Structure 1
């Protein structure tokens, strides 16, 4: 018993540096933002939140953030599903190469990604000019909501592949063989076995992609120089004071964004627990 107690005490002692780091760089800044979100020139209250939800401009920022995040996550996960499933059918060398490439491109974001898309799909981008000359498109605006959805989808796909690829391990080959022997078609197998088994992982991956897109800042700022109305851009503009300096309103918008991401995280944790119980 004494050795077990010493082991527990040693484990708790090893957690102290992490706990201090977590409090200093996670809890304390979040608490500071939460406190400042409740302060106005008139005193303490929820006036900043009321102003944010009553303002058409800020509501548009929330709407655009949610729309871009939702559609980029949905398109990204659909492509990632096809890619992850296809990786199970290719040779191991190609599979390892694609996995390594997905791992690399999942971290390709910010200014380099924005610059690459400007070269390819900007008003005078190489791919834009080729598609115009071929008569496929008349015009394309990379700096619009549609353009941002395409841009966000790019960095959602490799992350989705990395998260979904291990999930297909849950589908055992003998299940497919047993279903086939019992007369089930391929559609029957996916409808009654494959999709139900993968559903928790699919939904969990989707909410992770949603949270990843909600917090994206560097790429959209580099692409639009802060002229597109999404929550991260609005928060940064009020903190930097390029036009107006209002850190308290920025804190309120940050807490709204934190609330969105917290809801996504709670759903994600619930889905992880459900996936664990299903796998057992």
Structure 2
């Protein structure tokens, strides 16, 4: 009994540095941002949030951020699912190479990624000119919302593959064989067995991809030099004072981002609980 008690205290002492780090670098900044978001020009209150949701400019930033994040996350997870499943079927050497490449490209973002896409898909990009000469496209604007969705999707795919690949270990090969022996088609196997088993991993990965896209700043800033209206760009401009300095409004916009992610997480947990009860 005494050794168990001592072991628990030792575990708590080992956890103390992490708890201190988490409090200083996660909780304290969040509390600071939440407090300053309530500090409006006319005093303490919800004035900053009233201005955010009453301004067409800020509403457009929220809309663009949600649209780009949703579509890039959806496209990214679809491609990642197909890629992860395909990797389970190929030779181990090729699989290891693709996983190592995914690990590397998941960190390829920011200015280098924006520069690479400008060279390939800019107005005079190599791939853009080639596709125009082949008659596949007439015009393409990388610096538009569609272009940003393509750019975001690129760095979502490797992260999605890294997160989803281990989830396919839960699908045992004998399940498919048993389903086939019982007369189940391929679609029936995925409808009743495969997708329910993968649902928690799919939803969790989608939430992570959504958060990854909502908070992306360096890539979109390097590509558009801060001229595209999304929430991270607006927050940075208010903090840096490119137009005018208003850290309290930046804090309000940051809390809007926190609120959006909280809402997505709550919905994610609700869907998980519902799917768990249905499968039972």
Normalised by the shorter chain, which TM-score bucket? over 0.9
4+ aligned runs moved over 4 Å, structure 1: 267-280
Change in 2 beyond 3 A, CA 1:107/1:276:
farther
* Alignment partner, residue 19 of structure 1: 19
Q: 2:69 aligned with 1:77, yes or no?
A: no
Please give the alpha-carbon distance, in whole angstroms, between the structure 1 residues aligned to 2:152 and 2:24. Answer: 31
Any unmatched runs of 5+ in structure 1? Answer: none
Aligned partners of 1:160 and 1:205 also within 8 Å: yes
Change in 2 beyond 3 A, CA 1:59/1:24:
same
Please give the alpha-carbon distance, in whole angstroms, between the structure 2 residues aligned to 1:179 and 1:207. Answer: 31
* Alignment partner, residue 162 of structure 1: 162
* Alignment partner, residue 118 of structure 1: 118
User: Which segment is superposed worse, 199-208 or 96-105?
Assistant: 199-208
* Alignment partner, residue 144 of structure 1: 144
Change in 2 beyond 3 A, CA 1:203/1:46:
same
User: Which segment is superposed worse, 117-126 or 2-11?
Assistant: 2-11
TM-score (norm 1): 0.95
Change in 2 beyond 3 A, CA 1:207/1:256:
same
* Alignment partner, residue 7 of structure 1: 7
Residue 135 of structure 1 and its aligned partner are, at CA, apart by: 1.1
Aligned partners of 1:37 and 1:48 also within 8 Å: yes
Structural RMSD (CA): 1.9
TM-score (norm 2): 0.95
Please give the alpha-carbon distance, in whole angstroms, between the structure 1 residues aligned to 2:41 and 2:188. Answer: 63
Residue 279 of structure 1 and its aligned partner are, at CA, apart by: 10
Please give the alpha-carbon distance, in whole angstroms, between the structure 1 residues aligned to 2:169 and 2:272. Answer: 16
Any unmatched runs of 5+ in structure 2? Answer: none
Please give the alpha-carbon distance, in whole angstroms, between the structure 2 residues aligned to 1:270 and 1:101. Answer: 34
Please give the alpha-carbon distance, in whole angstroms, between the structure 1 residues aligned to 2:279 and 2:58. Answer: 42
Please give the alpha-carbon distance, in whole angstroms, between the structure 1 residues aligned to 2:10 and 2:189. Answer: 50
* Alignment partner, residue 191 of structure 2: 191
Residue pairs, 1:42-121, within 5 angstroms: 42-121=42-121
Please give the alpha-carbon distance, in whole angstroms, between the structure 2 residues aligned to 1:229 and 1:166. Answer: 36
* Alignment partner, residue 229 of structure 1: 229
Please give the alpha-carbon distance, in whole angstroms, between the structure 1 residues aligned to 2:272 and 2:91. Answer: 30
Aligned partners of 1:211 and 1:264 also within 8 Å: no
Aligned partners of 1:109 and 1:219 also within 8 Å: yes
Residue 193 of structure 1 and its aligned partner are, at CA, apart by: 1.5
Residue 14 of structure 1 and its aligned partner are, at CA, apart by: 1.7
Residue 167 of structure 1 and its aligned partner are, at CA, apart by: 1.2
Residue 129 of structure 1 and its aligned partner are, at CA, apart by: 0.8
